[in-house]
Amino acid sequence: MKTSKLFFIATLSVLAGVASGADPATDAATIRKTLGGVTPDSIEPTPVDGIYEVSVGSHIVYLTADGRYMFQGELIDMLKRESLTEPRRRQMVKKRLAAVSENDMIIYEPDKTRHTITVFTDIDCGYCRKLHNEMQAYMDAGIRVRYMFFPRAGKNSVSWKKAEAVWCAKDRKAAMTAAKNSQTLEMKTCQNPLDEHMQLVNELGARGTPFIVLEDGETQPGYLPAAQMAQLLDRIASR
């Protein structure tokens, strides 16, 4: 049973004391009013009477029908011994990434694609460089790598400017490799997707780099060698 680090168990006695509203539409309206300036992407009933799943980006919380009580964490089906939250979270991540055009990514394509991962990378991150130096091994394993930028030092930092220079280069892949190897870049500026990438980083709750999103929306917070990544992706595909 997979759970997040932030773990919450709502006891049956508490849940039993939560009365549902007149109907889901009415309850959803009440919850939206309670949330004030926060606009949820969805408000869905859960299997627990009177408890609603509220998603904002890839973040999921639970509210009572009257909007008064909220909890954050995993909703778990104890009979099936499985999380109801994690599959929904992965769906939200996949949906959010699907809205990003691949024209706004730097993509490394193997001869034959078996799996695709999305990697949020920082030019100056040591493990990001380690991953990039294994790019040929990823290609040999049939793993398609979609790069997006996550300069952790923030906007207008040195890492941000390097990322912008890579994006603005005539040959982005060659510039990425040069940047990862501390070679001199032509520090160009141009229209780029860095702001959008960083907005997505915040929505996904990414903290470290490389931050990797797998095909099913599961996230891998850190570097894995190509062989281990291929094994992980094969396991996911066989579920």
Q: Which residues are catalytic?
A: 122, 125, 128, 152
> d(Cα 73, Cα 7) in Å, to the nearest integer?
5
One-letter amino acid of 73: G
One-letter amino acid of 37: G
